[in-house]
Amino acid sequence: MGTPVITLAKVTGLDSTQLTYAVALQLLPLIVLLPFALVMITGKSVKSIKGVFLVTLISGVSFAVPQLFIAKYLGPELPAVVGSVCSMVSTIIAARLLNNKSKGANSKDSEYQIGAPKTNTQQKPISFKEGLMAWMPFILVFIFILGSSTLIPPVNKALSAIKTDVPIYTGEGAKPYTFSWLATPGTLIIIATYLGGLLQGVKFGELTKLLLKTARQMSKSAITIVSIIALAKIMGYSGMIGSIATVLVMITGSFYPLIAPIIGALGTFVTGSDTSANVLFGNLQAEAAKACGANPYWIAAINTGGATAGKMISPQSIAIAVAATNLPGKEGKILASAIKVCVVYVLILGLISYFCSPLFGF
């Protein structure tokens, strides 16, 4: 829901919509390419793209283009949601329309065929009402975030006014830390979950128990994020970030944009979170951009791109993957596979960061 970019905007003092647009531009080529990478990884060969090239292309483009449009005009909350929904619908439609044309095209390459699971003939088909109820929490999240976005200024302004400013530091250059209580995706998701659950017939008490259980599960992550925010604030106010940025620019000079994604990837590798990586290194990237004459929006945004790459090899992400897939002891093998993709991903981002800024007006 745009939390990493919203957080990045807060720690850098940059406009969130402009930052979101820069991130969407930088990730656009990778979003188009990633479906092809997934097909090749699944099929274990470039040959696996045969017969599904057009569907794969549609899947990537239908995600990237709507995401770019929403990022430019609505801000950070909805680009990924709208992009993923558009991609899902477009991929299903394209697969159905193109299925007959491609039938038999790969019949000789049986190793690339994936058999559909046998369906239970006694299973009752899902009605439209049942499907709608199952999707209700997600539909409400979409409606609430869209309704509270800058697309509807009166609502956005009213919700944004409900906030608390807390002065943490009172020295030179100090700014109060702002807690937005309603104009934030987290609160809206909780409200949508409660309403969606009640419409589905879940009792209020059960929903509250689930909320408390989730809060307990996330407690360690919350402590980590709060600690990193505190560290980043201390580094910023003490002048450490400015000093580090100056040294980095002295070493790399005008080539700093090439290594900027690596810093973002390192942040996620260490913290396990895109948001934490932006808190830790977002302001550093913006200061380094100013020092080397680059656009702060472009370089701060590339930190988010690099952070998405580091997520692949983060020990926290790998631990979750191992637990979810029941593959204990396979952490090393997963890391060895993921790091290859991560390196290519970061290299492409580095080239985009260095060469494409003038092309997009940054």
Q: What is the pLDDT of residues 37-94, one digit of tens each?
A: 888 888 888 888 888 889 999 999 999 999 999 999 888 878 888 899 899 999 999 9
Show the 3-state SS of 174-217: CCCEEEECCCCHHHHHHHHHHHHHHHCCCCHHHHHHHHHHHHHH
Residue with tokens 């380094």: 288
Q: Is it the case that residue 227 has pLDDT exceeding 90?
A: no
CA separation for the pair 242, 263 (Å, rounded): 15
pTM (2 d.p.):
0.74
CA distances to 230, 239, 282 from 174, rounded to whole Å, are 14, 12, 17
Which two structure tokens, joined as six digits, stand for 122?
Answer: 């006694």
Q: What's the confidence (pLDDT) of residue 304?
A: 93
- Nearest CA among 210, 218, 216, 181 for reference residue 194: 210
- For 278-290, what is the mean pLDDT? 88
Q: Residue 112: pLDDT band by 50, 70, 90 thresholds?
A: very low
The pLDDT of 165-178, averaged and rounded, is: 78
**CA-wise closest residue to 25 among 53, 54, 5, 10:** 5
Digit-coded pLDDT (tens) for 339-358: 988 999 999 999 999 999 88
Q: What is the mean pLDDT of the chain?
A: 84
